[in-house]
Amino acid sequence: MTGIGLFGAGGHMGTTLIRAIGESPLCTLAGGCERPDAPAVGRDLGELAGLRPLGLVVTDDPGALCDASDVVVDYSAASATMALLPVAVARRTPLLVCTTGFGEAEREAFAEAGRAIPVMLGANMSRSVLAMYELVRTAARRLGEEFDIEIFDFHPWDKIDAPSGTALELAEHAAAGRGVALADAMVTARHGETGKRRRGAIGFSSARGGDVPGENSVFFAGPGQRLEIISRVTDHRAFAGATLEAAVWLARQGPGFYGMEDMAAG
């Protein structure tokens, strides 16, 4: 069985994964880690998730977590992830990153780390969104530039990055379907008198509020018609299944910088 360590163990997904691992025949819980000032540090991981005590306490030492784990799953924040990355490399521990908010420099750091350990970046681990990527690419390819593309994401009040990582991934698939570079097509801010929309642009808008786990929509607005592709996640458990499958898969791989499509390919 694959021993999974949780980085960001005290968050929504951390406690969801503690419960999911307890029900899984594929993996076991190896440990959990939080930032030093987090209230979860020192607490039993089972009690943290509303379960019986497991005899594993939340640590603030990422090195100890890596040493105890076959693979570490990260649901923290971008800055915390970048602090974890060199520790995982030094300990030769595979790393599944499910955090968002990374720029090009951070992605290059993941690729460099992939020369030493297996690293996977998954912006969204719900199966509906994973299917949505393929649908969006197909729609973008089949619908011409007379169909304007708009991407909308709605996430909880405490999400700190916008557009979301999922929205950016959806846009990458839309751009690939159109055969263009996203950097040349994306429009992320509109305010005041902006002028007419540029043909071929991919627009973004974001909403933050409440405890919405995640809602993502891609609109293809054409003459007299509109196609909408929407994923609504209503429970954090929707992310757990694919996360654990990816973690178990990644633990068996050699060094490399992987995406979810690599796991799907076998």
Which alpha helices (DSSP H) does 143-211 contain, by range? 165-178, 182-185
Buried b (16+ CB within 10 A) or exposed e, 71-93: bbbbbbbbebbbebbebbbebeb
163 in helix, strand or coil?
coil
* Catalytic positions: 155, 159
Phi, psi of 231 (to 5 degrees): -120, 130
Q: Identify whether the C-beta of residue 45 lies closer than 8 Å to the C-beta of residue 57.
A: yes
Euclidean distance between CA atoms 40 and 31, whole angstroms: 13
Between CA 212 and CA 155, with CA 57 as vertex, the angle to 5 degrees is 10
In order of 10, 96, 191, 230, 246, the CA distances from 4 in angstroms are 15, 10, 45, 31, 11
Euclidean distance between CA atoms 44 and 55, whole angstroms: 6
